[in-house]
Amino acid sequence: MNVLIAAKNITTVTGMPIDKAYGFFEKLETSFNIRQKEVAEAPLREIKNRLKFMIDVGFDYLTLDRKAGTLSGGESQRIRLASQIGSRLVGTLYILDEPTIGLHQRDNAKLIKTLHDLRDLGNTIIVVEHDEETIRSGDYLVDFGPGAGIHGGKIVASGLIPEIFSARGGSPPDACLPARQGRAGAFGGKDSLTLQYLRGKEFIAVPKIRRKIPNPPAGGHDFLKIKGAAANNLQNIDVEIPLRRLTVITGVSGSGKSSLVYDVLYKALANKWNGASYKVGAHKTILGLEYINRVINIDQSPIGRTPRSNPATYVGAWTYIRDLFAATEDARVRGYKPGRFSFNVPSGRCENCEGHGTIAIEMHFLPTVYVQCEICKGKRFDRETLEVEYKDKNIYDILQMTIEEAVKFFEDIPWLYDRLNILDEVGLGYLQLGQSATTLSGGEAQRVKLSAELGKRDTRRTLYLLDEPTTGLHFADVDKLLLVLQKLVDRGNTVVIIEHNLDVIKTADWVIDLGPEGGEKGGKIVAEGTPETISRKAESFTGQYLRKVLR
């Protein structure tokens, strides 16, 4: 701590945002004498290069001492990407999964340039992505489908970009050679949903009529008012969120969105209504809490921590299915109760695997290996339980059904059909009823949670909070997600979303744009209003991009 360079110790320097740290080291060289310059030349060059890489992938707002555990998945991935650029490797294959997660449109160009630089060094880049700008910036496109789950797994389109966007069909090329080698073939299959959206044949429409916002915003029961929010980098701001509306919080990375929505709003309401004991982010007061009686954070965390958890149990459908089997004549003769058809308690489950269907084998220094149970052969129940059938299906057969199959199978049982149909409506019809919760993606888990909320008795006074719900979702899935969110609002609930996706922003009733930059340069309200209002604000980066999709 007593070792100083330019009157700053190492703690002070590592506590700087990366853009300020870069400026510090850039000016440092001018203060050195000839000997000091010779000694510091190589280290300074490496430090500046690495900081520049971080800035190029949109991390100018992060501090050097930021803990790795506090970074989002997208931020962690882009930091690793920046380190790879610095290594200057050649002939390497890089695979990236959704690198634009958490990235504002303004910073997409920086990320894309970084990927192009890696390619131009002589490397191969494979990106799994749904972001339109990133897709259009590639050299070659391979689209899988036509649907998800059992309906997918095929190549429905492949070809050079941008040629494939105008292709009208044909056969897949014999080999998918990189575009930079001049391959001219394109297979633009009619089954490709991706191409239908990229060609403009399918699109997420701008609402013809938006829900009205009271003007001026003075009605007590119409707004949730946060006064003096100063958590993290928030600049003592006053925010008014309209109730019974769909509100989207926007802004560049690090502008204070999560600090406002989660550190202040969610924690304060969770303490009041959910019995939590969070340390709430700095603020003066929140007005309008009496108009909310429940707050729910619908994130992308797993719906269960064990393989026994599945979509059917989470939305409450499995209880009805067990009751249905217990009501069959065969079950009544045998004296079986609903518990007999549960894989969570002893009685009807296979005790060798305890209802898992698999046996976990611990491997020293290697991941745990799961093998099929030798007794039940993966069917999870004992022989006697499996002998009970409903419409020629035993309980294991039901677990193996996809949700869309189950919707048809149980269509004459309203109380079961309704819960399963909601799962189908949000685009999860391809999942199996008994599919383990641990195998679901974050986006799938989030939509299961939304389905469960739609199936509950409506309180009409619930606040739903979502952080980038479009992560990992295709254009068509985003459309389905928006329909679900609009249904929640139509029931009289309030939905607040942190989002960068322009299709979500343009469908909002109200937008609050934070910024103008990230870190200490952010934390202010740049603009607020309808999407059309935001698009007319020249100082809003979000508005500049929103303008293009509202035309």
CA–CA gap between residue 214 and residue 242 (Å, rounded): 8
- If pLDDT is split at 50, 70 and 90, which confidence band does 174 have? very low
Q: In what order do the strands lie in the sheet with 154-160?
A: 140-145, 154-160, 186-188
Secondary structure (3-state) at 525 = strand
Looking at residue 183, its pLDDT comes to 45
Which residues fall within 8 angstroms of residue 544, CB to CB, at 6 or more apart? 106, 538
Residue 281 contacts residue 229 (beta carbons within 8 Å) = yes
Please tell me which residue, 313 or 59, carries the higher pLDDT value: 313
Could you tell me the pLDDT band of residue 178, with boundaries at 50, 70 and 90? very low
Burial status of residue 277 (CB atoms within 10 A of its CB: 0-12, 13-18, 19 or more) = exposed
pLDDT at 459: 65
Domain locations in the chain as residue ranges: 10-128, 139-198, 220-300+441-549, 311-437
3-state DSSP of 439-487: HCCHHHHHHHHHHHHHHCCCCCCEEEEEECCCCCCCHHHHHHHHHHHHH
pLDDT over 70 percentage in the chain: 93
How far is 533 from 307, CA to CA, in rounded Å?
47
Q: Is the pLDDT of residue 220 over 60?
A: no
Mean pLDDT of the chain: 87
In this structure, are strands 462-467 and 494-498 parallel, antiparallel, or unpaired? parallel
What is the mean pLDDT of the segment spanning 184-212? 84
Name 182's Cβ contacts closer than 8 Å, sequence gap at least 6: none
Q: Which residues pair with 295 in a beta bridge?
A: 463
B/e letters for 183-203, b = 16+ CB within 10 Å, e = fewer, are: bebbbbbeebbbbbbbbeeee
More confident residue, 486 or 34: 486
Mean pLDDT for 457-469 is: 85
Question: Within 13 A of 546's CA, how many CA atoms are on the CB side?
Answer: 30
> Residue 431: which of 418, 444, 449 has the closest Cα?
444
CA of 250: how far to CAs of 25, 152, 286, 294, 531, in Å?
Answer: 32, 33, 21, 24, 11
Architecture of domain 311-437: Up-down Bundle (1.20)
Residue 397 or 356, more confident: 397
The answer to whether residues 45 and 95 touch, using CB atoms and an 8 Å cutoff, is no
| Same fold yes or no, 220-300+441-549 and 311-437 | no
Is the model more confident about 185 or about 520? Answer: 520
Task: Tell me the CATH architecture of domain 220-300+441-549.
Answer: 3-Layer(aba) Sandwich (3.40)
Residue 528 DSSP SS3: strand
Mean pLDDT of 278-289: 94
For residues 510 and 62, the model is more confident at 510
How many helices, marked H, and strands, marked E, lie in the chain? 21, 18
CA distance 470 to 504: 8
| pLDDT at 321 > cutoff 70 | yes
Binned at pLDDT 50, 70 and 90, residue 74 comes out as low
pLDDT at 375: 94
CATH 3.60.15.10 fits 10-128, yes or no: no
> Distance between CA 479 and CA 202 in Å, rounded?
10
Residue 181 reports pLDDT greater than 80: no
Out of 148-152, 177-181, 298-302, 476-480, least confident range: 177-181
Do residues 540 and 530 touch, judged by C-beta distance below 8 A?
no
pLDDT at 443 over 90: no
Q: What is the pLDDT of residue 525?
A: 96
Among 97, 148, 132, smallest CA distance to 203 is for 132
Whole-angstrom distance, CA of residue 53 vs CA of residue 175: 35
Cα dihedral sign for 475, 476, 480, 483? positive
Categorize the per-residue pLDDT at 155 as very low, low, confident or very high, splitting at 50, 70 and 90.
very high
182: confidence class by pLDDT, cuts 50, 70, 90: very low
Q: How many CB atoms lie under 10 A from the CB of residue 384?
A: 11
Report the alpha-carbon distance of residue 111 to residue 108 in Å, rounded. Answer: 5
Using a 10 angstrom Cβ sphere, with 0-12 exposed, 13-18 middle and 19 or more buried, the burial of residue 526 is buried
179, pLDDT greater than 50: no
* Top-ranked range on mean pLDDT: pick from 157-166, 184-193, 251-260, 524-533: 524-533
262 token code pair:
């989660």
Please report the pLDDT score of residue 72 as a whole number: 65
Res 458: pLDDT: 66
pLDDT given at position 172: 45
